Amino acid sequence: MLSTIPGPEDLFLFHEGSLYHSYRVLGAQVMKQGDVRGVRFAVWAPHALEVRVIGDFNGWDGTEYSMRKISTSGVWSLFVPGIDEGGLYKYEIVTRYGEVIRKADPYAFQSELKPGTASRIAALEGYQWHDDDWQHSKSAKPAYNRPMNIYEVHMGTWKKKPDGEYYTYRELADELVDYVVDMGYTHIELLPLAEHPYDRSWGYQATGYYSVTSRFGTPKDFMYFVDRCHQAGIAVILDWVPGHFVKDAHGLRQFDGEPLYEYNDPRLAEKPEWGTLSFDFSKPEVISFLISNALFWMDMYHIDGLRVDAVASLLYLNFGKPELHWTKNEHGGDENTDAINFIKKLNQTVFAHYPDALMMAEDSTDWPQVTAPVHDGGLGFNYKWNMGWMNDMLRYMETDPYFRSGSHNLLTFSFMYAFSENYVLPLSHDEVVHGKKSLLNKMPGDYWRKFANLRVLYGYMMNHPGKKLLFMGGEFGQFDEWKDLEDLDWEILEYDSHRSMHQYVRDLNRLYLQEKSLWELDHQPEGFAWIDPHDSGQSIVTFMRKSADPDDFLVILCNFTPQTFNTYRIGVPFAGVYQECFNSDLPAYGGSGLINRGKLKTEAFSWHSQPFSLQIVVPPLATIVLRPVQIGRKASSTKKTRGDRVDA
């Protein structure tokens, strides 16, 4: 056998934890050695006595395919001539106890279709991308000052074929992408696509971190999907799971016969809440593996960002563990200092390579400065899911409207910290599974009120500071919770209420896209102002959203009761004429049709600490949005009128 090896500098950086493109060195690399084409295999297995390559090219007999140990810290390598893409393979490892185990390649670019567990030789080069315009546009303006309305998708259950088969990446590239564009979303977030053995793990318990799941096609098919998204102006975010991995025998668990990717101490390694294992963040080679993986999805698949799953379980040693298994760090605390250092290094490295990347933390804790730069003492993410807002709002919305006045703080508390981090407001898959009910079915009341409650929730969310995320099915009011082995209940769009909800979300998304005041200053206090947060007795809140243009603002009112108010007065900052530009109570949306028609003229009557006021109709369980159409410099007439701007 001919052999070729990773270079000494590569090995040094890998064992130091700084080989940030380790996927180019380890794994199965299709290449030439001299004039001979073949595949170079390289794997990290420091505890092994022997490692052999087995596959369909040698009848799964590794007798003549032993690898050579090329570093004292356990990297093994072998060049096999005459083989190419498509072949299946594994590593046959002889442990130091004499046991022979067979493992999939941690760095494999493709995997055998389930229930098979072998790795597949694949070369990722050669796809012709057509997203240059997209890549240039990302650097033109920061994400913070752009609209971000994310549609969260599980590819296996968004839609299935009549025979129950999956849509492929290429089929979804047309059907799903066109749908997302039509609905007015700006981003798609995909539940994890790393190869995983069990459908119902949704991808969160992976065996192949570098292997895009073969359920829906090949690596280049997925490249086509991302390319098509970018050509349509849609960014792609991938859920990424560095917190834990599955225990399946062919995966990372005790990879060379002993704990390797996981901690040696089972109290640290075990994740009893999920039945998985934690990565050992104290090992430099694990850091090289994980940070390289984050970059890999951006390098090879042009992914625009990562939503990092379960950050709380990274930050704290004892998260989700019974007290019997608790441990302490070297300072006597609960923080996982190795994992925290990993998070900071991860974000610094990603932004060094991709300054416009999205790095989003799904973090349920109150850890400070999650979205602050590392050099300012932060964790270095640029976005954080606002789990507090989500929990408070769902608790509030599940309360009968007649009793919501006693829980008014759940509605308003999020504004106390809305600008402490760069937030995404998530209504995600986690809220609609395992007996939690769908969003629609969480809403109290009869059939009409359930839909009206959901409309006002969505209206409040879209006008609240922060970027937005909604899980698939929520846009048409799926009645059942997410059935993770079946597709969405598209057939209910034949019913008026669901079809009207679908139209409502489409129009609400388009309002969001059109109004700079809803996203330009999303993360700055200057982009928001209360008009009245105190009307708990009637469960109404009124506030303003503002853009960088001082004359560009919206007045938003949300009524969380089924009561109608025919003469409700709200304060406004400027005299002039206002107009209702959005109302969730339109008959087209399934509402009762109470609308503020025509021009609404201010009165010189101070209200809500504002110098002027309007008297409006407030429909039941509704969100209404008012826009100034004639104030100050925007007056349509040069003659000074009552509509001229008056500075308070």
Pairing of strands 119-120, 88-94: antiparallel
Phi, psi of 348, rounded to the nearest 5 degrees: -60, -40
Judge whether 8-120 and 525-634 match in fold.
Answer: yes
Q: How far is CA 371 from CA 55, 150, 347, in A?
A: 45, 19, 10
Segments making up each domain of the chain, as ranges: 8-120, 148-517, 525-634
Which is nearest to 539 in space by CA: 401, 444, 394, 397?
A: 401
Which is nearest to 529 in space by CA: 518, 519, 543?
A: 543
Model pLDDT for residues 132-187, shown as the tens digit of each residue: 999 999 888 889 999 999 999 999 999 999 999 999 999 999 999 999 999 999 99
pLDDT, average across residues 20-49 = 96
Read off the amino acid at residue 235.
A
C-alpha angle with apex 510: 508 to 513, nearest 5 degrees? 115
Q: What is the pTM of this model?
A: 0.95
As a whole number of angstroms, the distance between CA 624 and CA 565 comes to 13
Model pLDDT for residues 444-474, shown as the tens digit of each residue: 999 999 999 999 999 999 999 999 999 999 9
Q: How many Å from the N-terminal Cα to the C-terminal Cα in the chain?
A: 84
Angle between helices 284-301 and 219-231 (to 10 degrees): 60
**Residue 536, exposed/middle/buried by CB under 10 A (0-12, 13-18, 19+)?**
middle
Tell me how long the chain is: 648
As a whole number of angstroms, the distance between CA 119 and CA 112 comes to 6
394-403 — which CB contacts under 8 Å span 24+ positions? Answer: 394/431, 394/442, 396/560, 397/442, 397/443, 397/453, 397/457, 398/442, 398/443, 398/444, 399/444, 400/444, 400/445, 401/444, 401/445, 401/449, 401/453, 401/539, 401/560, 401/561, 401/562, 401/621, 402/561
pLDDT, average across residues 1-11 = 72
Selected from 2.60.40.1180, 3.40.50.2300, 2.40.10.10, 3.30.70.20, the CATH number assigned to the domain covering 525-634 reads: 2.60.40.1180
pLDDT of 15 over the 70 cut: yes
Model pLDDT for residues 605-633, shown as the tens digit of each residue: 999 999 999 999 999 999 999 999 998 54
pLDDT at residue 81, as a whole number: 96
DSSP 380: -
**Residue 279, exposed/middle/buried by CB under 10 A (0-12, 13-18, 19+)?**
buried
pLDDT at residue 153, as a whole number: 98
pLDDT at residue 631, as a whole number: 84
pLDDT at residue 1, as a whole number: 35
As a whole number of angstroms, the distance between CA 628 and CA 76 comes to 69
Which is nearest to 83 in space by CA: 24, 39, 32?
A: 39
pLDDT of 418 over the 80 cut: yes
148-517: CATH topology is TIM Barrel (3.20.20)
Band the pLDDT of 6: cuts 50, 70, 90: confident
Report helix, strand or coil for 543. Answer: strand
Known catalytic residues? 309, 362
pLDDT at residue 141, as a whole number: 83
pLDDT of 637 over the 60 cut: no
Does domain 8-120 match CATH 1.25.40.90?
no
pLDDT, average across residues 56-81 = 96
Model pLDDT for residues 316-371, shown as the tens digit of each residue: 999 999 998 899 999 999 999 999 999 999 999 999 999 999 999 999 999 999 99
Residue 372, token pair as written in the block: 């602050």
Percent of the chain with pLDDT strictly greater than 90: 94
- 3-state DSSP percent of the chain in helix, strand and coil, to 5: 30, 25, 45
Residue 493, token pair as written in the block: 């769009």
Which is nearest to 628 in space by CA: 563, 568, 550?
A: 550
Band the pLDDT of 51: cuts 50, 70, 90: very high
- The DSSP-derived string for 435-502 is TS--HHHHS-SSHHHHHHHHHHHHHHHHHSSSEEEEETTGGGT-SSPP-TTS---GGGGGSHHHHHHH
